[in-house]
A and B are shown apart, each in its own frame.
Chain A
Amino acid sequence: MNGQNPLRRLIGTSSVARWMLLFGWSGERSFTYELPDALEVETRDWSEIVWHRVLFDDVRLITWRHYRRNVAMFSWLGGTLVIVFFFLWISLYVTLGSGRGSTSDDTKWVLFIVAAIISLPGLIGFILTAIPVCEITVQGERTQAVLRFPTWRKMESLTLRDRLTKRIRTHQTTVTAENLPGVSRVELSDSSNSPTQEKLG
């Protein structure tokens, strides 16, 4: 695992929010790189970077699905922030208005803009999470890689899935033929029971 392969190429990313004791919600991002014989996943959270590989030898399943993520967390977070700062703005407006003289129009706008800026991250998070995504998972016996694409990159995700399928099948066939010389390539491709392989040749 030590050392970076110079041939690695970024093929996709993914992110997930996790609940952590003491620290609240924490983001975890993963970057998937393609190597000649494996996928390398680099997972980063606020304190640690972890690398693991999904070896092509080891792959058993690739799944693809199109879905909308659960937006409940961002709804609550964004909604709470908006409500809190709305009341803050109202209370400041009332307090300043009831003091010496009346609140000028500029002050009202400044307060409104400050409240809007503070509540903006929640809103952005909500919008970003509400966009449907295409998810590819490459699952090996020991490790897995997750790649997510926004809905407008659906075709790209399907092309990548097909390309990975083809590469993995070719790699597994080659490795098996090298290790078990008695088993011919024809037998292997017949036993794989795969329409994609037939299509791709």
Chain B
Amino acid sequence: MPDLVQEKKGRKRSLGQHNLGCPKCGTSFNTSIRQEWTDGNHVCPYCNAVLDIRVFNGSQKSAQTATPTSDGRQAACANHAKNLATVSCAHCGVFICELCRLDLGKETLCPACFERLRRDDRLESVQNRAFNYPAQIRLAGLISIPMFVFGIILFGYVLFAVWKHSRQQKRLGRTFGTASKWFGLICGAFGALFCLLFWWSLLAKVIR
């Protein structure tokens, strides 16, 4: 048996979760195994699954290098005293070298500020999660039809979620869940209509 890193067997992995190895059993292939393999059919040494594999070497990039300070008058990096500072952090203003700088499109941050802002969820440029309002809209709209007695309340929630979703799309600069939104809106509108008709007919009977 080759040297494998076996993940917990039977655990369902999320689709986005990373695993450089067998897609069936979740066994991670070590670098030595991957280096032996060439393109073609291979059998997973652990679960015997037949895999048609394409192997890549990856891009080789030149490493980022920092310039050392030549004399005492040049500003040094706050984290590396021997490296020349090339830029200052847009958030805290500290001088940083080429090794420390983190370019985030509009601004350059130092590693400490980056970590702090990311932890506080204040870095929009690295945000890759969003609340799934379209799913909530679809669910509330769908429920409002069988539960038409509360149709108005559910339609109110649908409208609130649609408003939140449009704000979210603007903030993230993305368009997503349009079909779910319209489906939920139409179902919610029908639920609200049934609700109005139901309560109207009930009231009419009571008044008579």
The residue that A64 contacts in the complex, of B29, B51, B59, with Cβ under 8 A, is B51
Count of chain A residues near B, Cβ 8 A: 60
Closest 4 CB pairs of A and B: A175-B59, A3-B173, A4-B174, A57-B59
Q: Which of A145-201 contact B (CB under 8 A)?
A: 146, 161, 165, 168-169, 171-172, 175-176, 179-180, 183, 191-196
Question: Distance in Å from the Cβ of B145 to the closest Cβ of chain A?
Answer: 15
Closest beta carbon of chain B to A172's beta carbon, Å: 5
Report the stretch among B19-27, B70-78, B154-162, B187-195 that lies at the interface. Answer: B19-27
A and B contact pairs by CB, cutoff 8 A, 12 listed: A1-B125, A3-B172, A18-B12, A30-B15, A42-B176, A48-B129, A57-B59, A59-B58, A65-B50, A67-B24, A191-B57, A196-B39
Known A64-B51, A146-B15; 16 more pairs at CB < 8 Å: A1-B127, A2-B125, A2-B172, A43-B14, A45-B132, A46-B135, A52-B128, A61-B29, A63-B52, A65-B50, A65-B52, A135-B23, A141-B58, A180-B60, A191-B57, A196-B54
- In this complex, the member of B15, B22, B38 whose beta carbon has the largest number of chain A beta carbons within 10 angstroms is B15
Give B residues with C-beta under 8 Å from A: 12, 14-24, 29, 34, 38-40, 49-62, 124-132, 135, 139, 172-177
- With the chains together, A183 CA to B62 CA distance in Å? 11
Check A137/B54 contact, CB under 8 A, given A28-B15, A47-B135, A195-B39: no
Which chain A residue lies CB-closest to B61? A179
**Other-chain residue from A56, A137, A179, A196 in contact with B23 (beta carbon distance below 8 A):** A137
A47 to chain B, nearest CB (A): 5
Q: Within the assembled complex, what's the spacing in Å between the Cα atoms of A30 and B38? A: 29
Chain A contacts for B139, CB-based, 8 A: 46
Determine the chain A residues whose CB is within 8 A of the CB of B56 once the complex forms: 59-62, 168-169, 172, 192
A154 to chain B, nearest CB (A): 12
**Of the candidates A18, A179, A192, which one forms a contact with B14 in the assembled complex, judged by CB atoms under 8 Å apart?**
A18
In the complex, whether A102 has a CB less than 8 A from a CB of chain B is no
CA distance A41 to B176 in the complex (A): 13
Chain A residues at the B interface, C-beta cutoff of 8 Å: 1-4, 14, 16-19, 28, 30, 41-52, 56-65, 67, 135, 137, 139-144, 146, 161, 165, 168-169, 171-172, 175-176, 179-180, 183, 191-196
Cα distance A56–B56 when bound, in Å? 10
Q: Which residues of B contact A4 (CB under 8 A)?
A: 173-175
Question: Distance in Å from the Cβ of A44 to the closest Cβ of chain B?
Answer: 6
**Measured CA separation A43–B58 after assembly (Å):** 25
State whether B52 touches A64 (Cβ < 8 A).
Answer: yes
With most chain B CB atoms within 10 A of its CB, the pick from A58, A59, A135 is A59
A165 and B60 within 8 A (CB): no
Q: Which residues of B contact A172 (CB under 8 A)?
A: 56-59
Are B53 and A1 interface neighbours, CB within 8 A?
no
Alpha-carbon distance between A17 and B15 when the two chains are bound, in angstroms: 10
Given A61-B56, A65-B23, A194-B55, are A143 and B132 neighbors across the interface (CB < 8 Å)? no
Asked if A1 and B175 make an inter-chain contact with CB atoms under 8 angstroms apart, the answer reads: no
Residues of A within 8 A of B172 (CB): 2-3
Contacts of A64 in B (CB 8 A): 51-53
CB contacts (< 8 Å) of A143 on chain B: these are 16, 18
Do B53 and A48 touch across chains, with their CB atoms under 8 A apart? no
Q: Specify the chain B residue showing the minimal Cβ separation from A15.
A: B15
Taken together as a complex, chains A and B put the C-alpha atoms of A185 and B84 apart, in Å, by 34
